[in-house]
Amino acid sequence: MKILDCTLRDGGYYTNWDFSKELVNTYIKSFNSLPVEYLEIGYRSNSMKGYLGEYFYCPVYVIEGLKSISNKKLVIILDEKDVRPENIDALLRPCIGLIHMVRIAIDPKNFKRALILAATIKKLGFEIGFNVMYMSKWPDEKEFLTQIKEVNGIADYFYMVDSYGGIYPNDVKYTYDLVKSQTNVKIGFHGHNNLELALINTLTAIECGADIVDATVTGMGRGAGNLKTELLLTALNAKGKLEFDFNALSNVVDVFSKLHSMHEWGTNLPYMVSGANSLPQKEVMDWVGKRYYSFNSIIRALHNKKAGMEDNQRFPIFNSKKKIKKAVIIGGGPTAKDHATAIKLFIEQRNDICLIHASSRNSLPYSSLNVDQYYCLAGNEGQRLTSVFNKFDSFNGTCILPPYPRKMGTYVPEKIIKYTFELADVNYTTVVKDSHTSLAIQTAIELGVEEIFISGYDGYGDSKVGAKEQELFIENDLLFSDARKRGLILSSLTPTRYKNIVVGSIYDKLN
């Protein structure tokens, strides 16, 4: 039984396939002392849209550099949906003598096409691995099940890939026997960890007779991640099946543990639900990364997807007959709370002004103001609003939802349903249509607002900026830019790092 570590390839979903040279050097040198035969270093790919890092394209100089310091068999993977036989010569001929195995990620629906692609690759002399995805849905792929036998003489390894991370040991046994009955190709297993069953499923595959299994350091991998290499090696060591240098293992785990603190891969409730129901992880990975989506919202979206529903609730369209020239938008940053006394006085001294809460986090200090107040119910705001107003006895506002259908589903506290409306559209921007900021600005537009004063959009200090915060910061700044292009005047009453807001002072606007 052989082990393949695919950390650089599968982990690239979190780093855009960029890893520091120091980390990669530690990775390669540590594995030189570990009982792992193959290292999958990334993709080889045709040109794709947007930025993707060096381990997505694996230029030859990168492969040569790794080959010069590694004593392992190096592997790259191709995504079958993006590669055709006519691309193979350009992609793989430069890799001859550097790469030992080429794996192909395959949708079972495209299995026949993958056989043709593999036959082209085989002529160049590489070992070939068939990574057939969506294992939990194979029973529904009747045509594919009749084609498995056709890999004989083409593939060297036939991988059962638990793409959704939702199978159980009995599924492993059943599928292994199914494949074994149709082919003499060596069988592999690649397990995801949505239900935290990657270890037991992999050990089950080994007990069945699997010839090769995959793992990644610290489980780093798409969505909920994979079986941890260090866990597999430790479990096999405890059974007396492997001896190795634990110091080398510790060294590589340490560097990826530091990376984990930035990207936080691993399973959680949404990934568990997606795995248990064989739902795609790509969207979940994006939703989990958005801080304004609550787990309740994500779970609701997953259940809607499973049921084939667009959304679970509709509301009247927000169409205000009342027009207001000025609005104060309150975000979730601390300045909206720190300067609340001054901001309230600013509002009280003016006519023809309203208050729009992009986030209800700071709404309580403003709840007693005698002006029209609007609450944007993006993501988790229905739950947050409940925690702010408790029984809603003192609630006096209008709630605004994103346009229907909402991909995250809909939750509105029962007591404020009668105060709730949905936007017909968010038409001032194409950046995003269901964020706190996009809802707040579109609400202002629907009210006829010409000038917007902003507080609680502070930006992030350098010491606090992680990947999620940086993404949200850029997204908000683009939304502010689009609002200015629409002709809106934007100015901040409190300190902000956003470039597309004119910075002013609340205190020079008070009588």
The pLDDT of residue 165: 93
Task: Single out the residue of 452, 424, 431 nearest to residue 440, CA to CA.
Answer: 452
| pLDDT value for 166 | 92
Q: Enumerate domains of the chain plus CATH numbers.
A: 2-264 (3.20.20.70), 326-509 (3.40.50)
Distance CA 334, CA 400 (A): 23
Rounded average pLDDT over 452-456 = 96
Q: How confident is the model at residue 262 (pLDDT cuts 50, 70, 90)?
A: confident
Instruction: Give me the residue label for tokens 């683009």.
Output: 478
pTM: 0.70
> What is the percent of the chain with per-residue pLDDT over 90, rounded to a whole number?
75
Q: What is the mean pLDDT of residues 400-419?
A: 85
Nearest to 506 by CA among 334, 285, 315, 338: 338
| Cβ atoms 226, 216 nearer than 8 A | yes
Question: Mapped to the 3 state alphabet, what secondary structure does 454-488 carry?
Answer: EECCCCCCHHHCCHHHHHHHHHHHHHHHHHHHCCC
Q: For residues 374-396, give the mean pLDDT.
A: 83
pLDDT at residue 465 greater than cutoff 70? no
For residue 295, the model assigns a pLDDT of 64
Whether residue 223 has pLDDT greater than 70:
yes
Q: Give the number of other CB atoms < 10 A from CB of residue 117.
A: 22
Of 397, 394, 355, 399, give the one whose Cα is nearest residue 378.
Answer: 399
Task: Compute the distance between CA of residue 354 and CA of residue 327 in angstroms, rounded to an integer.
Answer: 5
Q: What is the dihedral of CA 497, 500, 502, 506, to 10 degrees?
A: -60
In the chain, DSSP finds a helix count (H) and a strand count (E) of 20, 16
Instruction: Check pLDDT > 90 for residue 225.
Output: yes
Mean pLDDT of 350-369: 93
CA distance 267 to 254: 20
Query: 483 with 428: CB under 8 angstroms?
Result: yes
pLDDT at 78: 98
**pLDDT (average), residues 231-254:** 95
Q: Other CB atoms closer than 10 Å to residue 230's CB: what's the count?
A: 20
Q: Is the peptide bond before 316 cis (omega within 30 degrees of 0)?
A: no
Say what the pLDDT of residue 452 is. Answer: 97
d(CA 79, CA 185): 21
How many other CB atoms are there within 10 angstroms of residue 57's CB atom?
17
Closest listed residue to residue 272, CA positions, set 223, 230, 211, 229: 223
Task: pLDDT band for 414, please (50, 70, 90 cuts).
Answer: confident
pLDDT score of 356 more than 90: yes
Overall residue count recorded for the chain in this entry = 511
The sign of the dihedral angle between the CA atoms of 440, 442, 448, 450 is positive
Burial of 37 (0-12, 13-18, 19+ CB in 10 A): middle
Angle at 308 between CA 277 and CA 273, to 5 degrees: 20
Q: Model confidence at 302, in pLDDT bands (50, 70, 90)?
A: confident
Q: How far apart are CA 444 and CA 354, in angstroms?
A: 9
* DSSP single-letter state for residue 226: B
pLDDT, tens digit, 9 for 90 and up, residues 475-496: 999 999 999 999 999 999 999 9
Q: Is the pLDDT of residue 282 over 60?
A: yes
405 pLDDT band (50/70/90 cuts)? confident
3-state class (DSSP) for residue 47: coil
* pLDDT score of 462: 52
**Residue pointed to by tokens 């059962």:** 160
**Does the pLDDT at position 306 exceed 80?**
no
- pLDDT attached to residue 350: 92
pLDDT in tens, 6-21: 999 999 999 999 999 9
Q: Count CA atoms within 13 Å of residue 249 on its CB side.
A: 18
Residue at 132: amino acid letter: V
280 has a pLDDT exceeding 80: no
Q: Would you say 108 and 141 are in contact if contact means Cβ atoms under 8 Å apart?
A: yes
Rg of the chain, C-alpha, whole Å: 27
